[in-house]
């Protein structure tokens, strides 16, 4: 069937009341997948924005920093594990507008790293079966990623 134009059912995703002048915040995240096909999630600690919600590990990309380099740095800082560029496979991305900024988040999958993930910033960690990811409340930008990660695994 030829494509004749946008699906009217998709217009709500484009025509939201979101200002175009929000600053864009680039962050990066990873689905760390262990040998049992479980995914690591981290609970945001008290004192941080969205405390108590679960997320995929990662963090902000510094000016001039590549997303992969930022993720390698963040995983060392937050989980004390070593990952190399070659172990990161691009998976999907999130694009979500919050009140003060628009978040753009490339998401990678990683099955190989050195070290044992441990919380170094007061966060709680859990290894979760992909089918159970919806049991954990997540920030609005992370929640839509669950289906992609389940499909990947």
79-116 residue pLDDT tens: 999 998 889 999 999 999 999 999 999 999 999 999 99
pLDDT at res. 14: 40
The strand ranges marked E within the chain are 24-32, 39-43, 54-55, 58-60, 89-97, 102-110, 124-128
Flag whether pLDDT at 31 surpasses 50. Answer: yes
Rounded CA-CA distance 105/27 in Å is 5
Q: How far apart are the first and last CA of the chain?
A: 31
pLDDT at res. 52: 92
Q: Tell the burial category of 148 from Cβ atoms under 10 Å away from its Cβ (0-12, 13-18, 19+).
A: middle
Note the pLDDT tens digit of each residue in 115-149: 999 999 989 999 999 999 999 999 999 888 998 89
pLDDT at res. 36: 96
CB 102 within 8 A of CB 18: yes
| DSSP tag of 67 | H
Flag whether pLDDT at 26 surpasses 50. Answer: yes
Delimit the domains of the chain by residue range.
39-152
pLDDT at res. 17: 59
Q: Give the chain's mean pLDDT.
A: 88
pLDDT-above-90 percentage for the chain: 71
pLDDT at res. 19: 65
Q: What is the CATH number of domain 39-152?
A: 3.90.79.10
CB 124 within 8 A of CB 43: yes
Flag whether pLDDT at 13 surpasses 60. Answer: no
pLDDT at res. 86: 84
Flag whether pLDDT at 9 surpasses 70. Answer: no
pTM confidence score: 0.84
């Amino acid at each position: 069937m030829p494509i004749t134009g946008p699906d009217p059912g998709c217009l709500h995703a484009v025509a939201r009341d979101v200002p175009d002048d929000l600053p864009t915040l680039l962050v990066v995240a990873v689905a760390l997948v262990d040998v049992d096909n479980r995914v690591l999630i981290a609970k945001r600690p008290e004192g941080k924005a969205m405390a108590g919600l679960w997320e995929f590990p990662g963090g902000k990309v510094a000016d001039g920093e590549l997303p992969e380099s930022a993720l390698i740095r963040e995983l060392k800082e937050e989980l004390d594990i070593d990952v190399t560029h070659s172990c990161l496979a691009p998976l999907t991305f999130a694009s979500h507008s919050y009140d003060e900024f628009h978040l753009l988040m490339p998401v990678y999958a990683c099955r190989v790293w050195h070290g044992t993930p441990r919380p170094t910033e007061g966060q709680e960690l859990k290894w979760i079966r992909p089918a159970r990811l919806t049991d954990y409340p997540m920030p609005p930008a992370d929640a839509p990623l669950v289906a992609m990660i389940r499909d990947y695994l």
